[in-house]
Chain A
Amino acid sequence: MNYSSIWTAAVILQKDVKTELRSRHGVSILILFGVTATMVISFALGIPDIDEAVAAALLWIILFFLSVAGLGYSFLREEEQMTMDGLLMAASVEGVYLGKVLFNLMLLLVAQGAVLPLFILVFNLQIGPWARFLAAMFFGSCGLSVACTLVAALVSRTGAKGPMLAVLAFPILFPLLIAASADTAAALLGAAGEGLQVLVLYPGVVGAFALMLVKFIWEE
């Protein structure tokens, strides 16, 4: 990772934000999925007050499926539009990966901006310390973005489509989802929890691994 990769990441982020603002495909997929899943769960359970641990688990299940439904989109679009090779010709693979991670994180945070208030309202959740809750959501989102972008890169190069992303992402995301659910539940209860350490470390560890791996994905 060097200055050139960071520059590339910034250029790709700017390009993806610009195209997303014109099409709004990616953010629409994420918000529609999140809102639909929240409403379906709410009607199925039929109770306004649920246990905090169950609420936290449901929230992260929604975020997991929302991520695998939407975060592969930016890579698949590059392959479908036949622009991926042009990108790889022009820039470092690390920069391309980092740019996509940042764009996916931005998409995820925007989608959460719509889904989280609805989820809190529908399930009548009382948030303990807000900073702790938001930290869990932010670092959990970083982890989802880093891992889903890596798997999306793999899937897009194999020519496989969406469902493969969920199958491959789940084993990688399992530790993150466990820690995120536990820490979110602790934040909702206002209790102590150790999940945040895992949530902070996870994006760094998986991100470092991904930066080493992307060369082998894109450079035969």
Chain B
Amino acid sequence: MILDDVGHGYDRGFLFRSLKADLQPGSIAVITGSNGTGKTTLLRILAGLLTPREGRVTYCNGKGSLPISSVRPRLGFVTPAISLYPDLTARENVLLACALRGLRGTLDVGSWLDRLGLSGRENDLVGSFSLGMRQRLKYACLFAYSPEVLLLDEPCSHLDEEGRRIVADLVLQYRGEGVVVIATNDPREVQWGELLINLDSCGHPTKGR
């Protein structure tokens, strides 16, 4: 994932400009910054849901750059701005996330729900879930289709200590498989990052940990 002079903002000017980074598989980048500095906006740009006003984001494999439309289904984006379907059960939400990405056949939905501490609630409607349970289910949906890039916006919001530990384990285990980008101001989550992008200081990356 290459960020090349990326800048974005709204009517009142730029939130961040000239952002450069080169993220290779196996790396974790953490975006920090005060409220309103553009952490979620930057994640939306990385997810291909927003076009930056300046610069560009490129996803490459060994052969060259890839169009964002083909990359998007391979990204895993957990953010408070994207919800689950409340009229579907937990199992149906996971199956839907996989089916939309073309995954069919026997998926091990139960084991992911179990790992996220949701066993026994597979057939309950998500509308009856607490915010913490919904956050856990988002991770079950995400890991069930094995994304190549994780984009996590406040990854542990609404989670209890056990939920935090489960998510931390999953994210740190995943690190060997792909790129992880986290937007957070929580000091415990900032510790996960090898590369820090602080949007308060115009987004120039520095080495983390």
Report A-chain residues with C-beta under 8 Å of the C-beta of B92. Answer: 18
By secondary structure, the B interface counts as loop
Contact of B100 among A8, A81, A219, A220 (CB under 8 A): A8
Residue A7, interface by CB 8 Å: yes
Residue B83, interface by CB 8 Å: yes
Tell me, in angstroms, the Cα distance from A91 to B99 when the chains sit together: 9
0/1 interface trace, chain A 4-35, chain B, CB 8 Å (1 if under): 10011001100100110011000000000000
Known A-B contacts A11-B96, A81-B83; the reply to A89 vs B50 at CB < 8 A is no
Tell me, in angstroms, the Cα distance from A176 to B110 when the chains sit together: 49
Residue A110, interface by CB 8 Å: no
Q: Which residue of chain A has its CB nearest to the CB of B49?
A: A85
Report A-chain residues with C-beta under 8 Å of the C-beta of B72. Answer: 88-90
- Contact residues, B38-75 vs A (CB, 8 A): 47-51, 68-69, 72-73, 75
Contact of B85 among A8, A11, A81, A91 (CB under 8 A): A81
Q: Is the CB of A15 within 8 A of B85?
A: yes
0/1 interface trace, chain B 83-117, chain A, CB 8 Å (1 if under): 11111100010001101111000000000000000
Known A-B contacts A8-B100, A11-B96, A219-B69; the reply to A89 vs B86 at CB < 8 A is no
Q: Is the CB of A89 within 8 A of B82?
A: yes
Q: Is the CB of A15 within 8 A of B88?
A: yes
Report A-chain residues with C-beta under 8 Å of the C-beta of B88. Answer: 15, 18-19
Q: Is the CB of A90 within 8 A of B73?
A: yes
Known A-B contacts A82-B82, A83-B82; the reply to A91 vs B50 at CB < 8 A is no
Q: Which residue of chain A has its CB nearest to the CB of B73?
A: A90
Q: Is the CB of A83 within 8 A of B73?
A: no
Tell me, in angstroms, the Cα distance from A193 to B40 when the chains sit together: 57
Report B-chain residues with C-beta under 8 Å of the C-beta of A92. Answer: 69
B residues near A (Cβ < 8 Å) are 47-51, 68-69, 72-73, 75, 77, 81-88, 92, 96-97, 99-102, 125
- Give me the 9 closest cross-chain CB pairs, A-B, nearest first: A90-B100, A19-B87, A82-B83, A86-B82, A91-B100, A220-B51, A11-B99, A85-B82, A22-B87
A residues near B (Cβ < 8 Å) are 4, 7-8, 11-12, 15, 18-19, 22-23, 81-83, 85-92, 219-220
20 contacts between A and B (CB under 8 A): A8-B100, A15-B85, A15-B88, A18-B92, A19-B85, A23-B87, A81-B85, A82-B82, A83-B82, A83-B83, A85-B49, A85-B81, A88-B72, A89-B48, A89-B73, A91-B101, A92-B69, A219-B48, A219-B68, A219-B69
Other than A86-B84, A89-B82, give 5 A-B pairs with Cβ distance below 8 A: A15-B85, A82-B81, A85-B77, A86-B77, A90-B100
